[in-house]
Amino acid sequence: MSLEITRALEALAVAACETAYPEEGCGLLIGPVPPDLAAPERAVVVDEVRPLANGWDASAKTNRYAIDPRELARVEAALAPAGRGVVGFFHSHPDAPAWPSPFDLALAWPCVSYWILRVDQGRLSDSRSWRRSDDGRSFVEEAIHLEG
Ligand SMILES: [Zn+2]
């Protein structure tokens, strides 16, 4: 189980999260949608990173993020004909560990990657990727494979 992403795409997500500091940055991980979406060991392959505005209420953007569901639906509809889709989400934890919060778990979809970037004082200091367990009760960490 792993997240496959290039260094150039990683840099895009890092820049978005460092720029958003001290608020949480967030965005979509896009790639080919495999036929075996639910295969537990499959790799999530990312070929596009799309940073989005944090849609959460201004008072709590330092520890919450929200992605506009209408925007998400628009993106999915545009990608679907080419067999591509949203294969994961990234967001940052400003000055906090790159472990998912209970809030992250409550909102997590199955079968997609949750890449969390820890940003300390505006600079990336750690990043980890997670997938929700089948029973929805926890996250399992996956390897991040950087290519290119
Ligand atoms: Zn989080």
Spell out the domains of the chain, with CATH numbers in brackets: 2-147 (3.40.140.10)
Q: How far is the CA of 20 from the centre of ligand 1 (A)?
A: 14
Which residues are close to ligand 1, an ion, with C-beta < 5 A? 101, 104
Residue 88, pLDDT score: 97
Q: What is the distance in A from the centroid of ligand 1 to the CA of 81?
A: 31
Q: In the 8-state DSSP scheme, what is residue 23?
A: S
- The predicted-structure confidence for 20-79, as pLDDT tens digits, reads as follows 999 999 999 999 998 887 787 889 999 999 999 988 988 888 889 999 899 999 999 999
Residues of the chain with pLDDT > 90: what percent? 80
